[in-house]
A and B are shown apart, each in its own frame.
Chain A
């Protein structure tokens, strides 16, 4: 019994309650509040590192209130921490720490609730990652969601603040209801809430329609959180209004948690219950590819920095889903390292955007063009992170992308590589274009219709007037995150360890035995054979290739007007304005209609699993 497991989720809750209870005393003592918040987040990070290393050779299982399962029936709730789940929770805690250090000087004034909400958000993410009970998963999902809705509406950085938060809350609540009804159906079949127990009972019964519908309902709720097209619309709206430190968490880890949930639910619950693996692969692969391309195109067109980064997150979410879709250990390991690398770099990019907003008072690329020349350090950090986002080796992203590509090729989908390179180039080019224009004044400012520029320059910074200096507490976390993005890729034995963890994550029988009968399984069985994780020339080529492509495209976009081009007046990406406006309308009714439509499509496709 590892007492750290409950503490990692409960300590932030307890601290959140404590600082709220003492809010009258702490209101005027801002630095004490900041220090408590940072200390708690760092402590949780350390706890999770310990949990992660202890779980390397088998999941740590913890039964709350001491109710162990009797004869294979779970009576209480358990936490089952494996290396991947604890690792993801650890990433969340690390990003919360970075965001809170950044907030030290970022907000002019901030009330008790900001810290309390960040901590309940953290607790929600940790509980969600570690739990082994599907209803418990839902409860932590809700805690995470409610905290996130409030944080989005907290001191918003744009006028019309509540719209984005409202769209976020409504779409994600629809997702929560879907998950809950899915849980109800699976309870109707098995009478169980423990994931291992449901999985075991479903395997006995064999695949049938009730199981398929339950699976579709649960994953649709998670696809909304995971920002997969056509469930993704809320994400850009929420990012546009949320405070920048909160965006770090949304893009860096909250979206990825949705996808983690899909992987967890598939391999711990429905893996045996759903027959036809090929259908599952096809559906997830189609969703992943669509999301990767659509997100990248929308990203390239965007001029609002935070929305641009949000669309790049959507594109990456599609690539992560592809890593899950191939169902092999290498694919899942690739998704894991890709998620880590992306989270660190995307967090650095958001913090860089926060510094730009702090110093220059805007996040509109057109307006900012050339105005960030004096922000040298920020410029360097932003450019490095942008190159990392374009999968330049040795950033961890290139490993993730390479592994997913070779896993997909092994399963007979070599064209995944092409799609990945296209979306990486587009996303990388968009962010590099921003870096070149804003921080180095390269090329010409993008010509934008006055209407669009007016709309997107309505920034009201919570830092009031533009500041003269960038405080160390804002620049240091961003720099550390970029360096961490490289360090992750250089960890010794990263490939073998991650792939072994992925094999363990995917071995449902071993998971069942560990949870329900306390067995220790030293060697989990892999359904698909593990593959070579060494540094391969193909990975390097693909990484350098997409980084070079992104640089080239970024320069093209910046210098387009000076080129002796075929068609004057045409700018790369401008043709997309209309479609984007049509889809990303900001009207939540549209978003819900898309969700229902997507739900019907995913359901119809996955119905083929019981052929």
Chain B
């Protein structure tokens, strides 16, 4: 009995001691020393013949994409040591000590070879701290595909480091009057290589990509009435899918691509409807005396946010497609327009007219949290989300002409991406190439 008692006491005392020591050795880090990951981006190096254009293109695309992400701080190339001049497509070929000395935590290296008009590009992402390969890819294609290869690797970097892929290897559709008429254009996600894809010689408006990014729908006045058109990007084939009397505008694909929400005024008043891809009417969503426009689907597809002046000034409302209930979302401001629901369903971005100019705001679908994303003069309108939900593309006329801008979802890092010397507006971001 005594021995049991002694053992029990010893165990209890020890457990008390261990417990107290464990508790005393807990520390809390509340302040990160750096607010971006130091990344070293080296020039891609030739396996045999040097092509400066290849090196510059890959470097330009990767550095612009990674800078826009806001996750990285590029290490100054002027500080690079001799390992930057060594091909390092395997981790054994990399002198990680040099990169650690420069404070880099992540390293990008690459090499290329050109033969017969074909380019072979090896790109690698290394973790400098653990000295291991995080991601790598061997790309082969035409020289004209070089930018896409670099965009694709930027997406792979995002996927590797964050668990969610990027949206760099995508395209943005927009409307421009560069040709003298408002036509539809396509460009890369960084604004490069803008090309006109319609020739309606009238007014084209409100493009939206199909979920797979192979088709685009838009409104055109080509035949006098604002009708809805669908266009296959690769074949160029086009079809008018809705020609209801009056407006056929602001159409949006549902996430599964099987149904469209749009504004029709077939009964004299602008209301929100759901139609099939063949233009057949499925459902009338709203039925109020005011004008209802600019629908945007929730990610699940069970709700639609839209603009209505049914209670006076234009405000955002959300319609439940299952029970038909409509609730008001915004109360602040006197003119709220062009809402876009984020891919993760957490935010709705929209433009608001205040002090004579439009600025962008975001609001949670429950209406509790509202944030202003852009400030100052210049009208920022028609915001749309990137497919990964990290960025917002919009139009801005601060320089006199409307141009396409892109920024991070929190409003930081805004920059102009369109380069056409003409008005550019109504952007839409594709989900893929």
Whether both chains belong to one complex is answered with no
A residues with CB within 8 A of B: none
